[in-house]
Structure 1
Amino acid sequence: MGARPPADALTTLDHPANRILIHHIAGANSTDYSLAHAFQVARDDQHDHIDNNGWSDTGQHFTVSRGGYRLEGRHGSLDALRGRTTMIQGAHCPGQNTNAIGIENEGLYTSVEPPQPQWESLVVFCAYICRQYGIPVEEIKGHRDYYNTECPGDRLYAKLPQLRSEVAKALM
């Protein structure tokens, strides 16, 4: 709600995604779990990506707030996901932007774990993405697996095997 239009045209790729990359915003671990706060986080992220990074839109496809709200980041990502056969080119990880769905998680997870509402929402959403695109759970990876970064933070990165396991159960 309140997102700006993309600064430039976005590219729709004529193939589905084959991987999910987990990120963290590396911002404050807010205790405001409201929908209004989630919208503000998404707007702030878009502002940063367009105005400070010079990108066309938010780099990642989706954002999960600490309160568990799932929001579209890059315009058109949800429609592409629903259609199952295309994806919007991202700007979340060099070398992965044409094949991986980027999910940004609000917060900083270097020394704390995500709150339960965010975690549960991330599991459900990853299961949905895997189902829509036919992505095997083994292809749920962290940003640092493909780029020299601390993202998604040591604590969230350490939970990726659990995420894959819980997503596999959700897909049964």
Structure 2
Amino acid sequence: MVNGCDGGHDDAEVGGHAALISAPLATSYELDAGSADAVQIIELNTVDGPRDLRLAGARRGMPIGDRVVPVRYLSRAAWGADESLRFNPDGTPKFGADQFFPVQTVTVHHTAGQNDDPDPAGFVRGLYQFDLDRYGDLGYHLMIDEAGTVYEGRASGSDSQPMFGPAGADGRPLMISAAHVGGMNSGNLGIALLGDFTSRQPTAAARSALTKVLAGICAVQRLDPRAATTFVNPVSGAQLAVDTISGHRDWMATECPGNAFYPKLPALRKKVASLLR
């Protein structure tokens, strides 16, 4: 049993987003999900990704708008995303046409599953495979492992920028709509820490990387990390009053981002604000 991170994209009510528990030396997993009347079996390779894949190198900084955040960063090409899997046989994207919106909020998640994963890039590849059939791509915009390495999540176009696409009318880059909070994704960035923080805290390296990334996002998007806002979904009109930097459970009933870590979010907002100053 894993502590789930329920969520879904705007055009469907999707739940049961529980991350995989990876095992050393395992080459594949079989998941049995559903009830006795409706069982879905999913098989995926979470270790070596697509065959004959040439990986790009890690970077010492992650681009966010006109800034470079000083973290170790793996683009999709660096962690091994097989981009062909995002498309149907006729070449159309599985998730439909990309949609871009102004950033209103940032939501912090945990993936649940195993802590101290010996192959976090393999876990990301496995999560990518798991999310493809439901969301057409990764549901998160970014992921951060326990060593503080940041992974590019959902594809956002052909440029080198994670998360963002074209500039909006006010000059701020628009974000790609992803799939991490059911019904509340358009304008809501999602960042997930790899691991389960129900009874333990993220590592210092993971917290440091998260703080730096949030500060970079807030600077580029002109967000106050200490503020609250009324999020308005530009697609459905649904609204919710939340902190500008929120936890997943602020949006819906879920254990994410963990009982141990969630109470630390006020301190996290304070640290982000200090970095901005």
Q: Give me the TM-score of the superposition, normalised by structure 1.
A: 0.89
The letter for the 2-side match of 1:28 is Q
> Within 5 A, what are the aligned runs for 1:9-28?
9-13=96-100, 15-28=101-114
> Within 5 A, what are the aligned runs for 1:1-172?
1-5=79-83, 6-7=86-87, 8=94, 9-13=96-100, 15-30=101-116, 32=118, 37-51=119-133, 54-76=134-156, 78=162, 80=164, 84-137=172-225, 138=227, 139-172=244-277
The letter for the 2-side match of 1:73 is G
1:81 and 1:129 in contact (8 A); partners too: no
2:218 and 2:224 in contact (8 A); partners too: yes
Unaligned segments of structure 1, at least 5 residues: none
Mapped to 2, the partners of 1:44 and 1:127 lie a distance apart of: 28
Give the share of equivalent positions with the same residue, in percent: 32
Q: Give me the TM-score of the superposition, normalised by structure 2.
A: 0.56
1:60 and 1:73 in contact (8 A); partners too: yes
3-state SS of the aligned residue for 2:190? strand
The letter for the 2-side match of 1:105 is L
Are residues 68 and 96 of structure 1, via their aligned partners in 2, closer, same or farther at CA, if it must alter by over 3 Å?
A: same
Are residues 31 and 4 of structure 1, via their aligned partners in 2, closer, same or farther at CA, if it must alter by over 3 Å?
A: closer
Mapped to 2, the partners of 1:97 and 1:168 lie a distance apart of: 24
1:10 and 1:88 in contact (8 A); partners too: no
Q: CA deviation at 1:79?
A: 5.7
Unaligned segments of structure 2, at least 5 residues: 1-78, 88-93, 228-243
Are residues 41 and 97 of structure 1, via their aligned partners in 2, closer, same or farther at CA, if it must alter by over 3 Å?
A: same
Mapped to 2, the partners of 1:10 and 1:66 lie a distance apart of: 33
The letter for the 2-side match of 1:3 is A
Mapped to 2, the partners of 1:115 and 1:66 lie a distance apart of: 6
Mapped to 1, the partners of 2:140 and 2:179 lie a distance apart of: 6
Are residues 106 and 2 of structure 1, via their aligned partners in 2, closer, same or farther at CA, if it must alter by over 3 Å?
A: same
> RMSD of aligned C-alpha atoms?
1.8
Q: CA deviation at 1:31?
A: 5.5
**Equivalent position of 2:10 in the other structure:** none
Number of residue pairs the alignment of both structures matches = 165
* Structure (1/2) with the larger helix percentage: 1
2:163 and 2:176 in contact (8 A); partners too: no
Q: Name which structure has the greater RCO, CA cutoff 8 Å, separation 6+.
A: 1
Larger Rg: 2
Structure 1 moving runs of 4+ over 3 Å: 81-84
